[in-house]
Amino acid sequence: PRLANQIAAGEVVERPASVVKELIENCLDAGATRIDIDIEQGGVKLIRVRDNGRGIGKDDLPLALARHATSKVYSLDELEALNSLGFRGEALASVASVSRLTLTSKPAAQDTAWQVSAQGRDMAVDLTPAAHTDGTSVEVRDLFFNTPARRKFLRTEKTEFNHLEEVVKRQALARFDVGFSLSHNGRTIHALRPAATPAEQQRRIAQLLNPDFMNNALVIETERAGLTMTGWVGLPTFSRSSADMQYFFVNGRVVRDKVIAHAVKQAYRDVLYNGRHACFVLYLELDNAAVDVNVHPTKHEVRFRDQRLVHDFLFSQLHRALAEYRPDGQSL
Ligand code: ADP
Ligand code: MG
């Protein structure tokens, strides 16, 4: 039943941000090193995501829009062993059913690009030749044009774009090796080259979050018993406008997790003082077998095989780093 639930995971398309999330994950699954995202009107009018990944062959193009087209899922074991971001094979089909979607792609081995499109439930299976360099573009227009009830739930253009930008930010923080660009109504919002060196990575973080964060953050770099944590935690000298600056990544994936949140919060509370919001960008690396990333279809959740071990590691390492920052015991 768990497998069935995971596959039947229903509506992945809640708002423009969820579409962008699925499309970016597909690009990453395809090995893209560059992802360009163009948005109009908060994503309601247009979401276009272009990548330089391995592409989809002509014959597979119509299949990519069919529900459960993915050939990846067979058993729970395989599901758990799976390291790709997609596994339900229904994201594109779901998006296509509530928008006007065009999929254009060219694998490097193919001479020309081909294109398929779908409008709501009517899927046009005819393939047309198209112009496209190696890689894939997905164009999603008029989201929820045929489901007015859902369209009604969308917020203002600005709010929808903010949600969407947050998705891009998280992916850009998770994958320094990939270049990202994001534009809204023709204006460039982010232009990020792949960041290989620590200096480039810091620049990316400063650019995405708050330039002041890097100047007021403690560098974390610690390893114990197969667990590695790197990143930055904000010091009390960092005053930010938003309380929501908590970014945690497990094995390169964006993650929100209660165990993690609790450990970090406790370390902060112990060393600093109560009520202060923790600000952090932290990367945890551990053996893939020690963590289950397929707990929830949206995959923001993880389940650690040994929650206590992870919690204690995060807490003790952060606690020590923060305490060392004020060796004289003076209050910050
Ligand atoms: P899933 O990612 O779960 O397999 P999707 O509906 O998101 O399902 O995508 C369906 C299929 O289309 C993918 O399995 C993949 O083969 C192909 N695909 C989608 N987007 C891309 C892309 N950007 N590059 C290459 N292949 C893609
Ligand atoms: Mg997918």
pLDDT of residue 254: 86
Predicted TM-score (pTM) above 0.90: no
Cα separation of the two ends of the chain: 51
Distance 29 CA to ligand 1 centre (A): 8
Q: Please state, rounded to an integer, the average pLDDT across all residues of the chain.
A: 84
Is residue 197 exposed (0-12), middle (13-18) or buried (19+ Cβ within 10 Å)?
A: exposed
Q: Where are the alpha helices (DSSP H) in 84-175?
A: 91-97, 148-152, 157-174
Nearest protein Cα to ligand 1, atom 19: 26
Q: Is the dihedral of CA 239, 242, 247, 253 positive or negative?
A: negative
Distance 65 CA to ligand 1 centre (A): 8
pLDDT of residue 120: 86
Structure confidence by residue, pLDDT tens digits, 89-145: 688 988 999 999 999 999 999 999 999 999 887 766 679 999 999 999 999 999 999
Does residue 162 carry a pLDDT above 50?
Answer: yes
**In residues, how long is the chain?**
332
Q: Would you place residue 11 in the very low, low, confident or very high pLDDT band (cuts 50, 70, 90)? A: low
Domain boundaries, the chain: 2-192, 209-325
Given the candidates 3.40.50.450, 3.30.230.10, 3.90.650.10, 3.90.180.10, the CATH classification of the domain at 209-325 is: 3.30.230.10
Distance 89 CA to ligand 1 centre (A): 7
> What span, in angstroms and rounded, lies between the C-alpha atoms of 25 and 282?
20
Does residue 161 carry a pLDDT above 90?
Answer: yes
Ligand nearest to the CA of 70: 1
Phi first, then psi, for residue 36 (nearest 5°) are: -115, 125
Q: Model ipTM?
A: 0.99
> What span, in angstroms and rounded, lies between the C-alpha atoms of 222 and 239?
26
Written as six digits, the tokens of 276 are: 């202060």
Does residue 67 carry a pLDDT above 80?
Answer: no
Does residue 331 carry a pLDDT above 80?
Answer: no
Q: Would you place residue 73 in the very low, low, confident or very high pLDDT band (cuts 50, 70, 90)? A: very low
Does residue 12 carry a pLDDT above 70?
Answer: no
Q: Range with the lowest mean pLDDT among 38-42, 168-172, 288-292, 326-330?
A: 326-330
Q: Is the dihedral of CA 136, 169, 264, 232 positive or negative?
A: positive
DSSP code of residue 178? S
Task: Select the more confidently predicted residue: 40 or 124.
Answer: 40
- What's the angle, vertex CA 275, arms to CA 273 and CA 280, rounded to 5? 85
Query: 149 pairs with which residues across the strands?
Result: none
Q: Which atom of ligand 1 is nearest to the CA of 49?
A: 23
Is residue 73 exposed (0-12), middle (13-18) or buried (19+ Cβ within 10 Å)?
A: middle
Mean pLDDT of 31-47: 98
Instruction: State what percent of residues in the chain have pLDDT above 90.
Output: 56
Q: Range with the lowest mean pLDDT among 15-29, 96-110, 276-290?
A: 276-290
Does residue 76 carry a pLDDT above 50?
Answer: no
pLDDT of residue 294: 67
Q: Which of 220, 215, 161 is nearest to 189 (CA)?
A: 161
Q: Is the dihedral of CA 48, 51, 54, 58 positive or negative?
A: positive
Q: Which of 44, 50, 38 is nearest to 182 (CA)?
A: 38
DSSP code of residue 187? E
Q: Which atom of ligand 1 is nearest to the CA of 87?
A: 3
Q: Would you place residue 212 in the very low, low, confident or very high pLDDT band (cuts 50, 70, 90)? A: confident
Phi first, then psi, for residue 208 (nearest 5°) are: -80, -35
> What span, in angstroms and rounded, lies between the C-alpha atoms of 278 and 190?
25
> What span, in angstroms and rounded, lies between the C-alpha atoms of 320 and 248?
19
> What span, in angstroms and rounded, lies between the C-alpha atoms of 164 and 150?
17
pLDDT of residue 241: 56
CA-to-CA dists, residue 254 to 18, 86, 228, 328, angstroms: 14, 14, 16, 36
Written as six digits, the tokens of 168 are: 């891009």
Task: Select the more confidently predicted residue: 13 or 223.
Answer: 223
> What span, in angstroms and rounded, lies between the C-alpha atoms of 130 and 2?
41
Q: Please give all residues whose beta carbon lies within 6 A of any atom in ligand 1, as ranges.
A: 22, 26-27, 29-30, 51, 53-56, 64, 69-70, 72, 86-93, 136
Structure confidence by residue, pLDDT tens digits, 142-156: 999 999 989 999 999
Classify domain 2-192 at the CATH superfamily level.
Histidine kinase-like ATPase, C-terminal domain (3.30.565.10)
